[in-house]
């Protein structure tokens, strides 16, 4: 039996977490042989609701679940955490862009970055889900000076998964036939889902779909999918977000040959200078991610990649005072 790992989850009484914690406890994230301890963080008004989630977790009698810590103190929730999923933040409603949440949510991530810095395992791997995810991840990493900025990531996997499904449906294939999907940039309406390197069933995607569909249907549909869910459901995506968070953490921890999209510190690759959390194509091995280098970038792609970078730099400028 492996030693248990500690997984901190914030916003643990919220709607995403209600899909997330049960799947993590059942082994979907780290494998059916990896015992887990869940360390759940909420704000004081949500502690009753969190207690209900804890009761339900206990009622599942999950074989892998070794212990549950429920707290409204970030120092307790992040203590010795090996993984941290920062979900707790306000969601947007109809008519809002995700960056409209910056003011409401940014302060959460400076406090939690410090608490992670002071309490978590030195090898902690952090995924920020709360919106605007990339800039919140930047805030958290800047407030954790004793950790490597690369230990902080932002969730782009939902966009990546959405893009794969849109293309699979258009071409009459299955998502598992789609390879080398890339979503560049920000988890926002400027994100750039890029088909230039993508293959379906071994064939270049551009041989299978029309340019007009790509530019005027595929790209906007993926960019606007979050808003479409809010319109349809009256609440923002939850189960699909939880599923993407599990995919992101599983691949980071256990590895993947597949190219996946992750929001990570820009390092100059593809001309994106440091200072923002930018989504790149990566592969994961031995618990680490690595940017896929050497892909050709044509003029259309360059313009889209620049636009989403510009937006991330604007978001950064708006929270400069929180960057420590
Ligand atoms: N990156 C992505 O792809 C996606 C991100 N999101 C974002 O995830 C966030 C959470 O969404 P939902 O679960 O639907 O929201 P929700 O409102 O149902 O749950 C959020 C929970 O966070 C808690 N919370 C607030 N401040 C906190 C703090 N300082 N510490 C700990 N917990 C705190 C709240 O009490 C609430 O229970 C939102 O910002 C949403 O926009 C949602 C979908 C996809
Ligand atoms: O759109 C939203 O506000 C929630 C979210 O991030 C998504 O579904 O991609």
pLDDT in tens, 144-153: 999 999 999 9
Q: How far is the CA of 286 from the centre of ligand 2 (A)?
A: 30
Ligand 2 within 6 A of 162 CB?
no
Q: What is the CA angle 312-315-319, rounded to 5? A: 135
Query: For residue 319, is pLDDT > 90?
Result: yes
Are 100 and 196 contained in the same domain?
Answer: no
Task: Tell me the CATH number at 293.
Answer: 3.90.110.10
Active site residue 187: yes
Are 217 and 234 contained in the same domain?
Answer: yes
Are 315 and 178 contained in the same domain?
Answer: yes
Are 23 and 64 contained in the same domain?
Answer: yes
Query: For residue 76, is pLDDT > 90?
Result: yes
Q: Residue 131, annotated ligand binder?
A: yes
Ligand 2 atom 9 nearest Cα: 226
Query: For residue 255, is pLDDT > 90?
Result: yes
Please report the pLDDT score of residue 272 as a whole number.
98
Which residues are CB-contacts of 233 (< 8 A; sequence separation ≥ 6)?
none
Please report the pLDDT score of residue 263 as a whole number.
99
Count of the separate structural domains present in the chain = 2
Please report the pLDDT score of residue 324 as a whole number.
78
Ligand 2 within 6 A of 130 CB?
no
Are 150 and 168 contained in the same domain?
Answer: no
CA dist., res. 64 & res. 29, Å (int): 12
Are 194 and 296 contained in the same domain?
Answer: yes
Percent of the chain with pLDDT strictly greater than 70: 100
Among candidate residues 187, 197, 248, 321, the one labeled active-site is 187
Please report the pLDDT score of residue 3 as a whole number.
98
Q: How confident is the model at residue 180 (pLDDT cuts 50, 70, 90)?
A: very high
Are 163 and 38 contained in the same domain?
Answer: no
Q: Residue 112, annotated ligand binder?
A: yes
Asked if residues 140 and 100 have their Cβ atoms less than 8 Å apart, the reply is no
Q: How confident is the model at residue 104 (pLDDT cuts 50, 70, 90)?
A: confident
Q: How far is the CA of 98 from the centre of ligand 2 (A)?
A: 7
**Model pLDDT for residues 204-252, shown as the tens digit of each residue:** 999 999 999 999 999 999 999 999 999 999 999 999 999 999 999 999 9
Q: How confident is the model at residue 162 (pLDDT cuts 50, 70, 90)?
A: very high
CA dist., res. 293 & res. 282, Å (int): 9
Q: How far is the CA of 317 from the centre of ligand 2 (A)?
A: 22
Rounded mean pLDDT of 158-174?
Answer: 98
DSSP secondary structure code for residue 132 in this structure: S
Phi, psi of 274 (to 5 degrees): -60, 160
Q: Residue 137, annotated ligand binder?
A: no
Task: Tell me the CATH number at 23.
Answer: 3.40.50.720
Domain housing 302: 156-321
Are 16 and 130 contained in the same domain?
Answer: yes
Are 140 and 163 contained in the same domain?
Answer: no
Last residue of a domain, one of 99, 128, 154: 154
Q: Residue 92, annotated ligand binder?
A: yes
Last residue of a domain, one of 108, 136, 154: 154
Are 166 and 311 contained in the same domain?
Answer: yes
CA dist., res. 125 & res. 61, Å (int): 27
Are 72 and 38 contained in the same domain?
Answer: yes
Average pLDDT of the chain, as a whole number: 97
Alpha helices by DSSP H, listed for the chain, are 15-25, 47-59, 74-77, 102-119, 133-142, 157-171, 211-213, 219-223, 225-233, 239-254, 299-318
Pocket-testing residue among 44, 71, 75, 87, ligand 1, by greatest number of atoms within 8 A of Cβ: 87
Are 200 and 317 contained in the same domain?
Answer: yes
Q: How confident is the model at residue 93 (pLDDT cuts 50, 70, 90)?
A: confident
């Amino acid at each position: 039996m492996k030693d248990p790992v500690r997984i901190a989850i914030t916003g643990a009484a919220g709607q995403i977490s209600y899909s997330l914690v049960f799947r993590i406890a059942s082994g979907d994230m780290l494998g059916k042989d990896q015992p887990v301890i869940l360390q759940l963080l909420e704000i004081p008004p949500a502690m009753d609701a969190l207690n209900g989630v804890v009761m339900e977790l206990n009622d599942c009698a999950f074989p892998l679940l070794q212990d549950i810590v429920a707290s409204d103190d970030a120092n307790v929730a992040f203590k010795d955490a090996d993984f941290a999923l920062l979900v707790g933040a306000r969601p947007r409603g109809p008519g809002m862009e995700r960056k409209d949440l910056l003011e409401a949510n940014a302060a959460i991530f400076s406090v939690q970055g410090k608490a992670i810095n002071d309490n978590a395992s030195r090898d902690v791997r952090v995924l920020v889900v709360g919106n605007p995810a990339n800039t919140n991840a930047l805030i958290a990493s800047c407030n954790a000076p004793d950790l490597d900025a690369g230990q902080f990531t932002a969730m782009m996997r939902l966009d990546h998964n959405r893009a794969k499904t849109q293309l699979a449906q258009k071409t009459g294939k299955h998502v598992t036939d789609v390879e080398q999907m890339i979503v560049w940039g920000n988890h926002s309406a400027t994100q750039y889902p890029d088909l230039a390197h993508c293959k379906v069933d071994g064939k270049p995607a551009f041989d299978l779909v029309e340019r007009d569909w790509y530019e005027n249907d595929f790209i906007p549909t993926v960019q606007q999918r979050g808003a479409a869910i809010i319109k349809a459901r009256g609440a923002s995506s939850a189960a699909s977000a939880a599923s993407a968070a599990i995919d992101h953490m599983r691949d980071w921890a256990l590895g993947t040959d597949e190219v996946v999209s992750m929001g990570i510190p820009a390092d100059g690759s593809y001309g994106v200078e440091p200072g923002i959390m930018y989504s790149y194509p990566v592969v994961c091995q031995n618990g680490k991610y690595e940017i896929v280098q050497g892909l050709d970038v044509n003029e259309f792609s360059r313009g889209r990649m620049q636009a989403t970078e510009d937006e991330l730099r604007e978001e950064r400028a708006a929270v400069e005072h929180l960057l420590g």
